């Protein structure tokens, strides 16, 4: 059935567009994710928006049932991960890569993002941004480069070609931008954004239309895949609904255009992401504390004997710090421990059996 669906999809959208990997499948929600100005001002007043954020990431690469046809090599995953690190660094968001795990599943290696998203649930590692990489990725409209499933969200999927590409270096960062609350710069779901940035102009609507960010110029929503030439110039030649010609930012990571041109987020996109992280509980839960303790109180006991888990701190992680703590990892549990500095105190017991492992690493991706 799935093979038939893929065949029909290929016939429907044509070989050309499929070869390009086509689109991003992330759709806006029914209501715009607005940030109230007083909320943002209050976060600014306590410097919360200037805090460096360290996001935990767990990457799952699918292969077929027999282990063949792996959707991405570790080298390509790491190359694109480093690209994403570089794209977010200026915006005070950094990353911690806990693991790249191969899961053998022919079914999930060819993934229908609209109709099978719950099939990913058993492979999500809690407390992390989960990135899934598939050999084939599509939704009801055709082949996808990537999809974040919702805005905001804590998991996303990428297709093989978006990871192996040496010209498109931004699909991982683009989908993560959706997860952290960014819309496409050409979004029209909440209204078509006009070009003017003069609040006195009757056409001014950048705070409530388009991507809801005013330092990203209004982007032409017509044929967003073909408006930018090889020299990264906008060639759509169209006007906004008020008759002003578009002059979009063709190097913005949240547009389509020519993907090889995409390199940056704007300052206000960075502020928006940091604000969304702070006010969205599912996102706050995937960022490492600067200094972390496990357990967090005396006389407490943590223990794992199966499955994947993580324990992290951005700058420092101290395990079994308090009196009578116990911290046990044994059996087939795989635990990923990362920080700039990790301290193991009395009460810590690591005794992995066959299939289990405790991975303790220094994070190279956060300055
Ligand atoms: Zn997108």
Q: According to the model, what pLDDT value does residue 16 have? A: 34
- Please compute the mean of the pLDDT values over residues 175-179 and round it to a whole number: 98
Looking at residue 48, its pLDDT comes to: 65
Question: What average pLDDT is seen over the chain?
Answer: 91
What pLDDT does 274 receive?
Answer: 92
Report the separation in Å between the CA atom of 177 and the middle of ligand 1, taken as the mean of its atom positions.
8
pLDDT the model gives residue 49: 62
Cα separation, 158 vs 255, whole angstroms: 17
Residue 269 lies in a domain: yes
Distance 287 CA to ligand 1 centre (A): 22
**Strand ranges, E, within 11-108:** 23-24, 53-63, 93-104
> d(Cα 191, Cα 361) in Å, to the nearest integer?
46
Burial class of 88 by CB neighbour count within 10 A (0 to 12, 13 to 18, 19+): buried
Same domain, yes or no: 32 and 114? yes
pLDDT (tens digit per residue) in 83-97: 999 999 999 999 999
- This complex has an ipTM of 1.00
Looking at the domain assignment, is residue 250 inside a domain? Answer: no
What integer is the mean pLDDT of 179-192? 97
pLDDT value of residue 50 = 65
How close is the Cα of 188 to the center of ligand 1, in Å?
A: 13
Strand ranges across the sheet with 341-344: 291-294, 316-319, 341-344
Q: How close is the Cα of 317 to the center of ligand 1, in Å?
A: 35
pLDDT for the residue numbered 32:
85
- pLDDT of residue 3 exceeding 70, the answer is no
Reply yes or no on whether the pLDDT at 81 is more than 90: yes
Decide if 148 is inside a domain: yes
Q: Same domain, yes or no, for 303 and 160?
A: no
pLDDT digits (tens, 9 = 90+) for 94-133: 999 999 999 999 999 999 999 999 999 999 999 999 999 9
CA of 52 to the centre of ligand 1 (A): 25
Peptide bond preceding 184 in cis form (omega within 30 of 0): no
Tokens 């290929």 belong to residue: 10
Residue 223 CA to ligand 1 centre (angstroms)? 14
**Domain enclosing residue 112, as ranges:** 2-182+265-284
pLDDT, tens only, 62-77: 999 999 999 999 999 9
Strand partners, 53: 93
In a domain, 208, yes or no: no
Mean pLDDT of 17-39: 75
pLDDT, residue 19, reads 36
Distance from the CA of 97 to the center of ligand 1, in angstroms? Answer: 22
**295 and 275 in a common domain:** no
Q: Which of 151, 253, 256, 236 is nearest to 195 (CA)?
A: 236
In a domain, 272, yes or no: yes
Asked if residue 358 and residue 343 are part of one domain, the reply reads yes
In angstroms, what is the span from residue 341 Cα to ligand 1's centroid? 36
Same domain as 297, residue 279: no
Q: What pLDDT does residue 136 have?
A: 97
Give the dihedral sign, CA 118/123/126/128.
negative
301 alpha carbon to ligand 1 midpoint, in Å?
Answer: 42
* CATH number of the domain encompassing residue 76: 3.40.390
Check if the beta carbon of residue 147 is closer than 8 Å to that of residue 106: no
193 within some domain: no
Identify the H or E element spanning 112. Answer: strand 110-112
Burial grade of 232 (CB within 10 A; 0-12, 13-18, 19 or more): middle
Report yes or no on 230 lying in a domain. no
Interhelix angle for 74-89 vs 171-179, to 10°? 60
- Give me the pLDDT at residue 90, please: 94
> What is the whole-number distance in angstroms between the Cα of residue 64 and the centre of ligand 1?
27
Using only the alpha carbons of the chain, give its radius of gyration: 22
Give the pLDDT band of residue 42 (cuts 50, 70, 90). confident
Q: How far is CA 98 from the centre of its chain?
A: 15
Residues 271 and 357 in one domain: no
Burial call 15-25: b when 16+ CB within 10 Å, e when fewer = eeebeebbbbb
Q: What is the mean pLDDT of residues 166-182?
A: 97
> Is the model's pLDDT at 51 over the cut of 90?
no
Q: Is the pLDDT score of 327 beyond 80?
A: yes
Q: Give strand ranges (E) for the chain.
A: 23-24, 53-63, 93-104, 110-112, 129-134, 136-139, 142-147, 155-159, 291-294, 301-304, 308-312, 316-319, 326-331, 334-339, 341-344, 348-352, 357-362
Q: What separation in Å is there between the alpha carbon of 184 and the centre of ligand 1?
A: 6
Tally of domains within the chain: 2
25 Cα to the center of ligand 1, angstroms: 6
pLDDT of 6 strictly over 90 = no
Residue 33's pLDDT band (boundaries 50, 70, 90)?
A: confident
What span, in angstroms and rounded, lies between the C-alpha atoms of 184 and 253?
9
How far is the centre of ligand 1, averaged over its atoms, from the C-alpha of 254 (Å)?
Answer: 6
pLDDT at 15: 35
Position 22 confidence tier, pLDDT thresholds 50, 70, 90:
low
Could you tell me the distance, in angstroms and rounded to a whole number, from the CA of residue 330 to the centre of ligand 1? Answer: 41
Residue 87 CA to residue 85 CA, distance in Å, equals 6
Flag the least confident range among 36-40, 117-121, 226-230. 36-40
**Tens of pLDDT along 334-347?**
999 999 999 999 99
Residue 197 lies in a domain: no
pLDDT value at 11 more than 60: no
- pLDDT, residue 38, reads 78
Average pLDDT over residues 192-203: 97
What are the backbone angles phi and psi of residue 176, rounded to the nearest 5°? -65, -35
């Amino acid at each position: 059935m799935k093979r038939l669906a893929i065949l029909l999809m290929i016939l429907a959208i044509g070989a050309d567009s499929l070869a390009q990997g086509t689109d991003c499948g992330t759709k806006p929600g029914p209501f715009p994710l607005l940030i109230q100005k007083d909320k943002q001002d209050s976060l600014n007043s306590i410097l919360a928006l200037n805090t460096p954020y360290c996001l935990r990431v767990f990457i799952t690469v699918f292969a077929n049932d027999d282990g063949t046809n792996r959707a991405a090599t570790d080298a390509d995953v790491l190359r694109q991960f480093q690209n994403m690190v570089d794209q977010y660094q200026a915006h005070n968001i950094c990353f911690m890569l806990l693991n790249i795990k191969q899961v053998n599943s022919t079914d999930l290696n060819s993934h229908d993002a609209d109709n099978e998203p719950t099939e990913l649930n058993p492979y999500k590692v809690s407390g992390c941004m989960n990135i899934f990489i598939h050999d084939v990725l599509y939704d009801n409209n055709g082949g996808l480069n990537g999809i974040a499933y919702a805005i905001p969200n804590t998991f996303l999927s990428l297709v093989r070609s978006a990871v192996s590409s040496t010209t498109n270096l931004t699909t991982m960062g683009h989908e993560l931008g959706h997860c952290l609350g960014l819309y496409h710069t050409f979004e029209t779901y909440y209204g078509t954004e006009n070009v003017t940035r003069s609040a006195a102009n009757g056409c001014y609507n950048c705070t409530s239309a388009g991507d809801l960010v005013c330092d990203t110029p209004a982007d032409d929503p017509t044929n967003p895949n073909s408006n930018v030439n090889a020299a990264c110039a906008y060639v759509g030649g169209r006007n906004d609904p008020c008759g002003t010609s578009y002059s979009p930012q063709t190097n913005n990571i949240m547009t389509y255009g020519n993907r090889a041109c995409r390199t940056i987020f704007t300052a206000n996109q960075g502020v928006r992401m940091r604000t969304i992280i702070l006010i969205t509980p599912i996102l706050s839960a995937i960022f490492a504390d600067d200094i972390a303790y496990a357990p967090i109180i005396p006389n407490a006991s943590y223990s794992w004997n199966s499955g994947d888990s993580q324990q992290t701190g951005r700058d420092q992680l101290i395990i079994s710090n308090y009196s009578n703590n116990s911290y046990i990892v044994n059996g087939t549990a795989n635990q990923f421990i990362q920080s700039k500095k990790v301290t193991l105190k009395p009460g810590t017991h690591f005794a992995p059996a066959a299939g289990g492992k405790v991975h303790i690493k220094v994070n190279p991706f956060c300055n």
